Structure 1
Amino acid sequence: MKTYPKIGIRPIIDGRLGGIRESLEETTMNMAKAVVALFQTELRYPDGTPVACVIADSCIGGVQEAAHCAEKFERENVGVSLSVTPCWCYGSETMDMNPLLPKAIWGFNGTERPGAVYLAATLAAHNQKGLPAFGIYGKDVQDMGDQHIPEDVREKLLAFARAGLAVAIMRGKSYLAIGSVSMGIAGSIVDADFFQSYLGMRNEYVDSSEILRRIQQNIFDPEEYKLALNWTREHCQEGEDFNREKNIKNRQEKDQDWEFVVKMTMIMRDLMIGNPRLVDQGFGEEAQGHHALLAGFQGQRQWTDFLPDGDFSEALLNSSFDWNGIRAPYLVATENDALNGVSMLFNYLLTNTAQIFADVRTYWSPEAVARVSGWKPEGRAADGFLHLINSGSATLDGTGKQRIGDKPVMKPHWEISDQEVDACLKATT
Structure 2
Amino acid sequence: MNRPLVGNPPTVGIFATIDPRTYPVPDIPEGSVKAQQMPVVMNRLDKVVKLAKSIKMYDGSKLKVVKGSVPVGGPRDAAIVQKEFEEAGVSIVINSMCTWSMGWETGFFGHPDWITAYEAMNGTAWPGAVLLNSKRASATAHLNPVFCIYPPDVEDMEPSAPLHPESIRRITQFLKCAGSVSMMRGKSYASIGHVSMGIAGSELVSDILARWFGMKLVHVDQLELLMRIQKGMFDNDEAKKATEWFFNSFAGRIDISKKRSPEKIKELVDFLIKMTLCIRDIMRGNDIIEDEERSQGANALFGGTAGQRYWTDWYPNFDFPEAINSATFDWNGLRAPIVHATENDYLNGMGMQWGTMLTGFSALFADLRTYWSPKKIKEATGFDMSSIAPTGFLHLINSGPAALDWATDPAMLPAETRMKKAIEGTYWEPAGLGYFPGDGLSTHFVTPGNLPITMIRFNRVGQDVTLTVI
After TM superposition, the score normalised by the length of structure 1 is 0.90
Which structure 2 residue ranges, 5 or more long, are not aligned? Answer: 24-31, 428-470
The DSSP-based 3-state class of the residue aligned with 1:353 is coil
Q: Distance in 1 between matches of 2:255 and 2:141?
A: 61
Q: Distance in 2 between matches of 1:171 and 1:145?
A: 40
Opposite residue 416 of structure 1, the aligned amino acid is A
Percent identity, please. 36
Which of 125, 129, 133 in structure 2 is aligned with 1:116?
129
Q: Distance in 2 between matches of 1:409 and 1:210?
A: 34
After TM superposition, the score normalised by the length of structure 2 is 0.82
The DSSP-based 3-state class of the residue aligned with 2:288 is helix
Q: Partner of 1:256 in structure 2?
A: 267
Q: Partner of 1:212 in structure 2?
A: 226
1 or 2, which has the higher helix percentage?
Answer: 1
> Post-superposition shift, 1:382?
5.8
Q: Partner of 1:245 in structure 2?
A: none
The DSSP-based 3-state class of the residue aligned with 1:78 is coil
**1:351 maps to 2:359:** yes
Which of 332, 347, 354 in structure 2 is aligned with 1:339?
347
Q: Distance in 2 between matches of 1:106 and 1:256?
A: 58
Q: Distance in 2 between matches of 1:141 and 1:116?
A: 11
**1:239 maps to 2:255:** yes
Q: Partner of 1:142 in structure 2?
A: 155
Q: Distance in 2 between matches of 1:319 and 1:289?
A: 21
Opposite residue 411 of structure 2, the aligned amino acid is M
**1:283 maps to 2:291:** yes
* Matched ranges for 1:129-278 at <5 A: 129-142=142-155, 144=157, 147-236=161-250, 237-240=253-256, 250-278=261-289
**1:81 maps to 2:93:** yes
Report the RMSD for the aligned CA atoms in angstroms: 2.0
Q: Distance in 1 between matches of 2:372 and 2:102?
A: 59
The DSSP-based 3-state class of the residue aligned with 1:329 is coil
Question: Contact 2:20–2:34 at 8 Å: present in 1 too?
Answer: yes
Q: Partner of 1:127 in structure 2?
A: 140
Deviation string 1:22-81 (CA, Å, 9 cap, x unpaired) is: 22222111111111222333x212232443321101111112221221222222232211
Question: Contact 1:177–1:336 at 8 Å: present in 2 too?
Answer: yes
Question: Contact 2:94–2:119 at 8 Å: present in 1 too?
Answer: yes
Deviation string 1:256-297 (CA, Å, 9 cap, x unpaired) is: 22111100001111111111122xxx2211111111111011
Q: Distance in 2 between matches of 1:370 and 1:117?
A: 57
The DSSP-based 3-state class of the residue aligned with 2:395 is strand
The DSSP-based 3-state class of the residue aligned with 1:293 is strand
Q: Distance in 2 between matches of 1:88 and 1:382?
A: 51
Question: Contact 1:333–1:393 at 8 Å: present in 2 too?
Answer: no
> Post-superposition shift, 1:154?
2.1
Which of 10, 27, 33 in structure 1 is aligned with 2:15?
10
Question: Contact 1:366–1:382 at 8 Å: present in 2 too?
Answer: yes
> Post-superposition shift, 1:334?
0.3
Which structure 1 residue ranges, 5 or more long, are not aligned? Answer: 243-247, 401-407
Q: Distance in 2 between matches of 1:293 and 1:371?
A: 46
Q: Partner of 1:405 in structure 2?
A: none
Relative distance call for 1:375 and 1:110 in structure 2 (3 A) is closer
Q: Distance in 2 between matches of 1:12 and 1:330?
A: 40
> Post-superposition shift, 1:420?
3.0
Question: Contact 2:410–2:418 at 8 Å: present in 1 too?
Answer: no
Q: Partner of 1:404 in structure 2?
A: none
Deviation string 1:153-200 (CA, Å, 9 cap, x unpaired) is: 222222211211111111111111111111011111112111111111
Question: Contact 2:57–2:180 at 8 Å: present in 1 too?
Answer: no
Question: Contact 1:188–1:338 at 8 Å: present in 2 too?
Answer: yes
Using the TM superposition, name which of 207-216 and 370-379 deviates more: 370-379
Question: Contact 2:405–2:418 at 8 Å: present in 1 too?
Answer: no
Which of 65, 69, 77 in structure 2 is aligned with 1:65?
77
Q: Partner of 1:403 in structure 2?
A: none
> Post-superposition shift, 1:152?
2.2
Q: Distance in 2 between matches of 1:208 and 1:157?
A: 43
Q: Distance in 2 between matches of 1:264 and 1:316?
A: 11
**1:47 maps to 2:47:** no
Opposite residue 228 of structure 1, the aligned amino acid is A
Deviation string 1:277-329 (CA, Å, 9 cap, x unpaired) is: 22xxx221111111111101111111111100000000000011111111111
Which of 386, 410, 424 in structure 1 is aligned with 2:422?
424
Deviation string 1:230-252 (CA, Å, 9 cap, x unpaired) is: 1112223323569xxxxx65443
